[in-house]
A = this chain, B = another copy of it.
Amino acid sequence: MRWADLDRENCSLSRALAVVGDRWTLLVLREAFLRVRRFEDFQARLGIARRVLAARLKHLVEEGVLRKEEYQQRPVRHEYRLTEKGLGLYHALIALVHWGDEHYAGRRGPPVLHRHLGCGHDFRVVASCSECGEEVFAREVAPHPGPGARKQG
């Protein structure tokens, strides 16, 4: 199978990865969450090839993760901003950051802390069950076919 055909799979992870599973895409979104908005700034901060950056931004705009907004005329210039759909990726991103903190932080600790403005504390994200509120771990989850499942081939 080709990577480009991933979005046709009947799997939410495949379809999510068809959008953000490319090399660099999640790093572009990291910058977007840090309020980076312009082509030159993304490029300078990531050191990514301009060609690749242009392709990623275009794809993210097409998918509705970013939107392109005019911030000046003469000459016309655009900036890239997260949409609501894009903001929804925060949970996945912060989960990866947390995993990186746990397994790759040096002796001194994680490079970045996150403060929850709601309560004012530095925090880590806990994945909890929408039904009972308890923290959820991999071994306590059983996947089963949902309404959108296809019959097996």
Find chain B residues with CB under 8 A from A102 CB: 88
Let me know if B1 and A13 touch, CB within 8 A.
Answer: no
Chain A contact-residue range equals 35 or more
CB distance from A128 to the nearest CB of B (A): 5
Q: How far is the CA of A1 from the CA of B12 in the complex (A)?
A: 31
Closest B residue to A52 by CB, please name it.
B3
For the complex, is A126 an interface residue (Cβ under 8 Å from B)?
yes
CB distance from A90 to the nearest CB of B (A): 4
Q: Interface on chain A toward B: helix, strand, loop, or mixed SS?
A: mixed
Question: Which of B82, B104, B108 lies in contact with A16, CB distance below 8 A?
Answer: B104
Let me know if B88 and A99 touch, CB within 8 A.
Answer: yes
Q: How far is the CA of A109 from the CA of B89 in the complex (A)?
A: 19
With contacts A108-B148, A115-B141 taken as known, whether A17 is within 8 angstroms of B13 at the C-beta atoms is: no
Let me know if B99 and A16 touch, CB within 8 A.
Answer: yes
Q: How far is the CA of A93 from the CA of B47 in the complex (A)?
A: 27
Let me know if A116 and B140 touch, CB within 8 A.
Answer: yes
* Contacts A16-B100, A118-B136, A126-B129 supplied; 7 other A-B pairs, CB < 8 Å: A13-B26, A13-B96, A111-B148, A112-B145, A113-B143, A114-B144, A123-B132
Q: What are 12 A-B contacts with C-beta separation under 8 Å? A: A3-B23, A14-B100, A23-B23, A33-B138, A82-B138, A90-B138, A95-B127, A114-B144, A115-B144, A116-B134, A118-B134, A119-B129
